[in-house]
Amino acid sequence: MSTAAPEVARAHHMFSRDVMQSFYRLLAVALICVVLAVFSDVFLTMNNILNVLRQTALLFLMASGLTLVILTAGLDLSIGANVALSACLAASVIKITGSPLLGVATGIGCGAMIGLANGILVTALRIPSFIATYGMMWMLTGVTYYYMAGETIHGFPAGFRHLGSGYLLGVPMPVYVMVLFLLIGGLFAQRTVWGQQIYAIGANPVAARLSGVPVERRLVLVYAMSGAMAGLASLIILARINSAQGDIGEDLTLPAVAAVLVGGTSLFGGSGTVTGTLIGALILTLVLNGMNLLQINSSWQPLVTGVIVLLAVWIDTRTRRIGE
């Protein structure tokens, strides 16, 4: 109990720093919006704003699960490939059974199982997370391409498609899913014992273990949640584009990693928030959307995302060094 006091003090300090960082990030969002509004006539149209929100929702869903992984000082590079396999399996199930509900269960279940496998590789086999999930990424891609054999599955029931392309009160459905998981994710991370244990593991795994945190079980949970969120995201994509192909999630991993890091979650674990990740997802979407609006060749996108990742981590390491 005697260690509780400095822990609380640190938490308060981090809270105020988090608020300041959120402020800077919102300032960045405002700045990007002003620049895009000036240089593009299309940016401020209702159509484009709803489009940005829809894309932010998708990126956030993938990045929110990833945030939990990165909070434990881990990384999940398999989420893009996870989206592809989950989407293709869900698509098959919907086509074969005609039941969107079974499809949703398949997508989330497949995602969670992949996450579970990652968790086992990281904890039981003690493989560094970035290597285990990077290997998983290539294996999933292989399995997906083999399963699909170049085919496309398309045409799903209208009720299912509503999940991705529908509106409620003029707002796209994915945005509601995003808000729901923002609340769940925020409450889970900040207000539950398990959530706090995840922060503790990231800040100092040895101390967490000595304080009685079941480190292995929490880590497996975190990877499974990241996988399940990728499975959920795959369903939103499926419902939106109304077709499934082997290469569906290929370009999603790096932007999701970038969104988490830009959102202020430290790659070294223990600090960051799910709300921050939402702002990060918004910034990433605005940048990529802006490049589309300004008709910049889409080949620039991986390059720009790569630079954003490096900048975000550099700022993170600098902040930590000043903090020490």
Q: What angle do CA 140, 143, 149 make, to 5 degrees?
A: 135
Closest separation in Å from C-beta 243 to other proteins: 19
197 or 277, CB closer to other proteins?
277
- C-alpha dihedral, 63 to 64 to 69 to 72, nearest 10°: 120
Q: How many helices (H) and strands (E) does the chain have?
A: 13, 4
121 or 173, CB closer to other proteins?
121
One-letter amino acid at 38 equals V
Closest CA to 286 of 23, 112, 63, 49: 49
Residues 102 and 97: their CA atoms lie apart, in Å, by: 8
194 or 268, CB closer to other proteins?
268
Closest separation in Å from C-beta 165 to other proteins: 28
The upper half-sphere exposure of residue 309, i.e. CA atoms within 13 Å in the direction of its Cβ, equals 13
Closest separation in Å from C-beta 138 to other proteins: 5
159 or 323, CB closer to other proteins?
323
Are 121 and 130 contacting, i.e. CB atoms less than 8 angstroms apart? no
55 or 141, CB closer to other proteins?
141
Footprint of other proteins (CB under 8 A) = 75, 77, 121, 125-128, 130-131, 134-136, 138-139, 141-146, 149, 254, 257, 267, 297, 299-307, 309-310, 313-314, 317, 321
The residues facing 168 across adjacent strands are: 171
